[in-house]
Amino acid sequence: MIGLLFAGCSDKKAPQKEVSLKLDEEKSEWFKEAKFGMFIHWGLYSILEGSYNGHTMPDTSFANGNSWYAEWIKPRLEVPDDVYNALANQFNPVNYDPESWVREAKNAGMKYLVITSKHHDGFALWDSEVSDFDIMNTPYGKDLIAPLVEACKKYGLKYGFYYSHWQDWEDPDGALPRWCEWRDDEAFERYWQRKSLPQVRELIEKFDPDLLWFDTWDWKTHITPERRDELIRLVRTYSDKCLINGRICYENPGDNIDFLEMHDNSYPKEMLSKPWQTPATMQNSWAYHGKDFNWKPASRMLRYLVNNTSMGGNYLLNVGPKADGTLPAPAVRRLREMGAWLDVNGEAVFGSEPSGLTMPEGVYSTRKVTPEGKNLYIFLTRPMTSVTVPAVLSGECKVVETGQPVEMTVEGEKTVISLPENLFKDDSIIVLKCRS
């Protein structure tokens, strides 16, 4: 019997030869073209919705309670280990309908999805053979990742997993927040070999993800360049397509990662050397927080998307589902508004490239060659009477949504586009399409 069990395990794909740590650049082409993705923070913390024992995050009566991030509730509001881990006995997302999530993402214009397969609390949303702290030991008792992957395949979205490779607050040897005990290297190595690396391998073997999203954000972590490379090697060994983000090693991501990850909610004003994305929240929190009413308007989030598109980067916008598996209504409304705008104006985003032109404040641009010719798209995010473009535009220029023509005059090396007042009747971004 035991022999048979082992025979079963050894069936897994074994590394044949030394792999290259670098993936061909063309494998990240889809990512560069995707522009817009959905981030999902979901786990045991979703049950608490940012509040515990009469306290709500942020709460400065706790030494480290000053944060909105509801997925951090355990260490920040000092929830005891046993109380927190026992949330597994309550987790029962009976209204989970992964196809409805994927449909919302797709209708919003998103091309990929990244879910927290395991956040810092150490809890795995899939059926993990490596750890019992997983979805199988909940009243729900069914893998949450497998049906989501199926839904992504059905609707043609790429998919990836956030995996907390460094912090793990449940494992006796996993890294803890910086104000807690520092795990010595020997202890961390045990966690690394026993849980972190095997779970990453498991995620790849079971689900074949398009990307892995690792998370370090401190100068001092246990993820040395050696461990970083060990993890990259593992990913490359078991997948020939899986992209890896720069947060795998904050101190030094090295040359072998596939895309750079910006700080949370941070928007660069320049082009970067590698593909990149901004992970961004809709509320202040990532995980659902029932008392965080700081929902960003869809118009502002579209500006971030357009800013990033014009700089060659992606926008990974988060939703925090509730513990029962439903998406919060404010998130759904915003996704639909963004999708409606992209339905009309998406030609300026998808398939486009940065124009390389320096535009006035509040104006962004992309370019795209179509069978009709060369197009410059200009995004106007605030009312203005005219916009001066540092290029000679000789073809026609019109508003994408309505087809309304706009006048332009070439002045030397520049073109001045006159904007009618009736363009700015609401706060949505106006897109102009100009032939050059």
State the nearest-atom distance from the C-beta of 153 to ligand GLC, in Å: 25
State the nearest-atom distance from the C-beta of 99 to ligand GLC, in Å: 25
State the nearest-atom distance from the C-beta of 384 to ligand GLC, in Å: 34
State the nearest-atom distance from the C-beta of 284 to ligand GLC, in Å: 12
- Measured distance CA(234)–CA(259) in Å, rounded: 18
State the nearest-atom distance from the C-beta of 244 to ligand GLC, in Å: 15
Residue of this chain nearest to ligand GLC (CB atom):
279
Question: Is the CB of residue 386 less than 8 Å from the CB of residue 417?
Answer: yes
Q: In three state form, how does the secondary structure of the chain look?
A: CHHHHHHHHCCCCCCCCCCCCCCCHHHHHHHHHHCEEEEECCCCHHHHCCEECCEECCCCCCCCCCCCCHHHHHHHCCCCHHHHHHHHHCCCCCCCCHHHHHHHHHHHCCCEEEEEEECCCCCECCCCCCCCCEHHHCCCCCCCHHHHHHHHHHHCCEEEEEECCCECCCCCCCECCCCCCCCCHHHHHHHHHHHHHHHHHHHHHHHCCCEEECCCCCCCCCCCHHHHHHHHHHHHHHCCCCEEEHHHCCCCCCCCCCEEECCCCCCCCCCCCCCEEEEECCCCCCCCCCCCCCCCCHHHHHHHHHHHHHCCEEEEEEECCCCCCCCCHHHHHHHHHHHHHHHHHHHHCCCCEECCCCCCCCEEEEEEEECCEEEEEEEECCCCCEEEECCCCCCCEEECCCCCECCEEEECCEEEEECCHHHCCCCCCEEEEEEC
State the nearest-atom distance from the C-beta of 29 to ligand GLC, in Å: 24
State the nearest-atom distance from the C-beta of 286 to ligand GLC, in Å: 5
**What is the CA 168 to chain-centroid distance, rounded?**
20
Comparing CB distances to ligand GLC, the nearer of 49 and 215 is 215
Residues that bind ligand GLC (CB under 6 A): 69, 71-72, 215, 217, 264, 279, 286
State the nearest-atom distance from the C-beta of 217 to ligand GLC, in Å: 5
- Backbone phi and psi for residue 19, each to the nearest 5 degrees, phi listed first: -95, 160
State the nearest-atom distance from the C-beta of 348 to ligand GLC, in Å: 27
Comparing CB distances to ligand GLC, the nearer of 279 and 312 is 279
- Measured distance CA(434)–CA(317) in Å, rounded: 29
Comparing CB distances to ligand GLC, the nearer of 280 and 302 is 280
Comparing CB distances to ligand GLC, the nearer of 75 and 98 is 75
**How many Cβ atoms sit within 10 Å of the Cβ of residue 237?**
17
Comparing CB distances to ligand GLC, the nearer of 250 and 377 is 250
Comparing CB distances to ligand GLC, the nearer of 85 and 278 is 278
State the nearest-atom distance from the C-beta of 169 to ligand GLC, in Å: 12
Comparing CB distances to ligand GLC, the nearer of 71 and 104 is 71
Comparing CB distances to ligand GLC, the nearer of 184 and 264 is 264
Comparing CB distances to ligand GLC, the nearer of 182 and 217 is 217
Comparing CB distances to ligand GLC, the nearer of 58 and 395 is 58
